[in-house]
Chain A
């Protein structure tokens, strides 16, 4: 086995590929996060709604998505969904980086299902009397959620949401199966071109870890700075 030599994979070309991959992974995470949080909030509110059809919609979304592997969902989005689209939309999709759009779409749905459950249990942790009192004072359901329940729930919700963001970061690596050129994809590319598996994967692991540990540190900081206050 040739000895460990990081310089072999840090040539301009390979370093460029890996950095591009890292940037695309971060971009994928950011896009997904921004789309998933509102969707998750919507799903959580559906599940807590007093309307039975809304509750059912929320239940089907959450259970349907959580019980199917991300890999299968990404394959479905990439191979099957374009078949269902009209010709013009499909052409547009293939012209505009279909791999990224499908990965972001699949990851958004997957992440939002998990986040929705965290948001729901955070809201349920606020005593029901808070909502009842707000309703009795004449607030509408949405207004009492927004002004009374959610501000209290947010301290409970954020820590699990941060750990879902960590899962999201790790899950971006699965997008390599549909050819999204994120970090894992570029790592495989560098490995094939350089025959330096150990060095490539060491660098990639360090890159993944530094983002992961930053997110973990953020969670620790938040819990110290904003501990849960009970009503």
Chain B
């Protein structure tokens, strides 16, 4: 195992960079992070629509959330793969395809986190803010959301872990993230699948387990502060 890591560690980390496009573990992290950052505003907007009292806003968004959450991510990726070129008018790279699919898919999950976070704040907070003369949007922005954000933080970190794991599906559309690179190494070596895929699994594990511990400690701290 050591000899493989010794030979291929750079390829595993950054793919063909700097002679070719960036890939490997760095691309995985970058893609996961970018997807989460872009999914956040989408998720917050959709989450707010989910708790809105305006039916024309609430119903279509609820339907959308249910539809996307009932569809496998792979299906969303294939849709992005097919539709993006016809929407944008030119050929879309694998990175953009994957990023779009991940943003849409995770946006729906974040919407549910945001909805649960807002609904977890006692109703009196909103009513009190409103009766003090704040508009709905101001009451949401200054009173409800800041309190809800604290409850949502651990879930966001967990969602980041999920997103990182989901980037591995880029393998299927040929995006050179770490799973794809590992598979290439496996093809080059032919006889060492156990060592190659164990290393890959270990890399994901270190990344995701570390992050999920962060989420766990955030949760513990939040529960301590709440009491």
Mark B130-144 against chain A: 1 for CB-CB distance below 8 A, else 0: 000000000000000
Q: Which residues of B contact A184 (CB under 8 A)?
A: 72, 74-75
Q: Is the CB of B72 within 8 A of A67?
A: no
Q: Mark A160-174, 1 if CB is under 8 A from B, else 0.
A: 000000100011111
Q: Mark interface residues in B187-227 (1 if CB within 8 Å of A CB, else 0).
A: 00000011011101100110011001000000000000000
Q: How far is the CB of A143 from chain B (nearest CB, A)?
A: 33
Look across to chain A and name the residue whose beta carbon is closest to the beta carbon of B208: A67
Is B171 on the interface with A (CB-CB < 8 A)? yes
With A1-B86, A79-B186 already in contact, the answer to whether A72 and B70 are too (CB < 8 A) is no
Show 11 A/B contacts (Cβ-Cβ < 8 Å), sorted by A: A67-B209, A69-B179, A71-B169, A73-B201, A166-B70, A170-B70, A184-B74, A184-B75, A187-B78, A205-B79, A216-B70
Question: In the complex, what residues of A have CB within 8 A of residue B72's CB?
Answer: 170-174, 184, 208
| A177: nearest chain-B partner, CB-CB | B172
* A-side contacts of B193, CB under 8 Å: 79-80, 83
Set of chain A residues within 8 Å of B161, measured between Cβ atoms: 67
B94 within 8 A of A: no
> Nearest B residue to A76 by beta-carbon distance?
B197
CB contacts under 8 Å to A, within B16-55, are none
Whether the Cβ atoms of A72 and B71 lie closer than 8 Å is no
List residues 58-75 of chain B with CB under 8 A from any CB of chain A. 66-67, 69-75
> When the two chains form their complex, are residues A209 and B70 in contact, meaning their CB atoms are under 8 A apart?
yes
Q: Per-position contact with A for B75-98: 1 when CB-CB < 8 Å, else 0? A: 100110010001000000000000
Q: In the complex, which of the residues B67, B86, B171, B208 contacts A177, with contact meaning CB atoms closer than 8 Å?
A: B171
| CB of A70 closer than 8 Å to a CB of B | yes
CB distance from B115 to the nearest CB of A (A): 15
Chain B residues with a Cβ closer than 8 Å to the other chain, count? 35
Which of the listed residues B79, B166, B193 has the most CB atoms from chain A within 10 Å of its own CB?
B193
- Determine the chain A residues whose CB is within 8 A of the CB of B78 once the complex forms: 187, 197, 201
Min CB distance, A75 to chain B, in Å? 6
Q: How far is the CB of B138 from chain A (nearest CB, A)?
A: 35
Interface residue A16 (Cβ < 8 Å from any Cβ of B): no
Contact status B194-A84, CB under 8 Å: yes
Report A-chain residues with C-beta under 8 Å of the C-beta of B208.
Answer: 66-68
Q: From A68, A79, A171, A212, name the one whose CB has the most chain B CB atoms within 10 angstroms.
A: A68
Contacts of B205 in A (CB 8 A): 64, 67-68
Cβ contact of B198, chosen from A66, A80, A197, A205, cutoff 8 A: A80
Please list the residues of chain B having a beta carbon within 8 angstroms of any beta carbon in chain A: 66-67, 69-75, 78-79, 82, 86, 161, 165-166, 168-169, 171-172, 179, 183, 186, 193-194, 196-198, 200-201, 204-205, 208-209, 212
A209 to B79, CA, bound (A): 14
The answer to whether A68 touches B70 (Cβ under 8 A) is no
Contact B172–A197 (Cβ < 8 Å): no
| Most chain A beta-carbon contacts within 10 A, residue among B69, B70, B205, B212 | B70
Cα distance, A198 to B86, chains bound together (Å): 12
| A176 at interface by CB-CB < 8 Å | yes
Indicate whether A208 sits within 8 Å of B70 (C-beta atoms), given known contacts A71-B179, A174-B169.
yes
Query: How many angstroms between the C-alpha atoms of A112 and B169 in the bound complex?
Result: 21
| Contacts A76-B197, A201-B82; A71 near B168 (Cβ below 8 A) | yes
Partner of B75, one of A72, A75, A198, A205: A205
Contact between A83 and B194, CB atoms less than 8 A apart: yes
- Complex: A196 Cα to B79 Cα, angstroms: 13
Q: Which chain B residues border A166 with CB–CB below 8 Å?
A: 70
Contact at A75–B70, with CB atoms within 8 Å?
A: no
Q: Does B165 contact A70, Cβ atoms closer than 8 Å? A: yes
- Contacts known (A72-B197, A184-B75, A197-B82); A67 close to B67, Cβ less than 8 A: no
Q: Whose C-beta in chain A lies nearest to the C-beta of B165?
A: A69
Q: How far is the CB of A2 from chain B (nearest CB, A)?
A: 12
Establish whether residues A174 and B166, one from each chain, have CB atoms under 8 Å apart when the complex forms: no
Contacts of B168 in A (CB 8 A): 69-72
**A213 on the B face (CB < 8 A):** yes
**Once the chains bind, are B201 and A208 in contact (CB under 8 Å)?**
no
A166 to B66, CA, bound (A): 12
Say yes or no: is A180 at the interface (Cβ < 8 Å to chain B): no
Alpha-carbon distance A1/B89, docked complex (angstroms)? 12
